[in-house]
Structure 1
């Protein structure tokens, strides 16, 4: 099975997801069955994980429907020298912080010609199995190349594992004798200059609040000019104020705000987001840390030294590699987590 044949079912999946999201009529009994089961699993996912709202699940599915276009897949894969299929099995230990967070690794393993052994997080175990079932119906050859495991992982040749800094230390020890990619905690930051208009800054709310800020691509830290008043920031993100209607989010907002006030930290607050001056990167849910800077070039050098802790840098076009406001949760196929080229790793096994 060559790489073109491996791409085809994923591009068909992308087309089906577009029809599903647009409430279009299914084009086959197979697709109709997929739509029915997917709807059921979306409801299940919401039940099992309170952070997985229908809006956020559909947002994730939309991003994949756009990414899985045949031309995009072909252009991405053309950058690699991919052999015919291998008999290597790559284990993927998936996180569960946002819907389908492990799908990119799954896609990479199969397109690289390897077999995949999946260990799902209990927080996100409803959506991938139904998508996998549909993929194998579109291309039966994948049936023998995809496996799920609920127990200890055995009989694999390489591993991709995502977890916290603590679990990463365990992964590095446990998988030290296997080729591996081990991902740790990372956070994303935004640089404000104070010159942004409300219209330019508004999309930053998407980077902060999408998935309730639980993703590594969510902005959890702001860098602002010294003495810059942040009223314009609060005004720009105000359209996101209905997020406080979520009980889980509101509980975190109330708790973290109370902790900060009891500890006598100086905070800024707009009723649904707390800003706290802090040098750390990882802010709790419903809060964002901020830090002041005096020299933009010095800040860029500082962030360069911290690149192992940073997933994305967001700005209004300050650097070519910076992500525009509002785009962090719309990664392209070649936007690899932790800036580690997963496809290169897999093709060199």
Structure 2
């Protein structure tokens, strides 16, 4: 890493929110979406740069499956913060539909909408088939889908270059990001000169190789003259290390339930979670959540700075799967405080 990147401080970079609109045990999607808007309004006040929602399906712990709808809900209830997708799983959709949806969002909330795109289904294969109806849509044609989507936004399409026009959408200046948890999208984002967001929060072992591939592959474009990389990180912050570690067990239980194929709403925190796991599960948890951060303000600041030193990221996007909404708000408030110091 260059000396310039080593010298980068938390206060030098932007920080954002990734919200999965968690449905908690005993809660409801309605309450989750109310909490999402409440968090977004606080995040705007605390100085977060953008607020992204994620597309997942057939998951009883996530309320943001209709991602474009939730983006509109959040954008309508805020005034300045950028709102977008982290991400839309493009193979689940016709590119024209996404162009129209995000063109409509941009028309409603000019200059505030981001379009982050992924190539994974965001669900299991059976649900992916229910969404796509055509088993040939397996993500292999993602570059072609991406090119079609970008063409719909191109104002030159109005001159007859494309027989089908996205209205709203055509001529919209909507930043497009590629999202990834491996090297595929990293390389494609670099070749196209697009910003790249890496899912460090669940694929930590691939973070540094993917960022290196993105930067080595980067070609300047009319979008970016140099690479711009954002990294996702799970953060559970509280006033003490002990309380943060306890709150973090909700996230750990969520991943354990995924491993066990026992999907359920987000569980309340527990004491002594390690007693409930096998050695295999402990290893799998470490592999997927090894970059997660939990602790007091001082601990969180130190660990975020270390992560920045390792990645040289231009922006961090924070995920916080915390059962109690007030504790979740406090966690994001602490992150905002340490990022500004």
Tell me if TM exceeds 0.5: no
TM-score, normalised via structure 1 length? 0.33
TM-score, normalised via structure 2 length? 0.34
Structure whose CA Rg is larger: 1
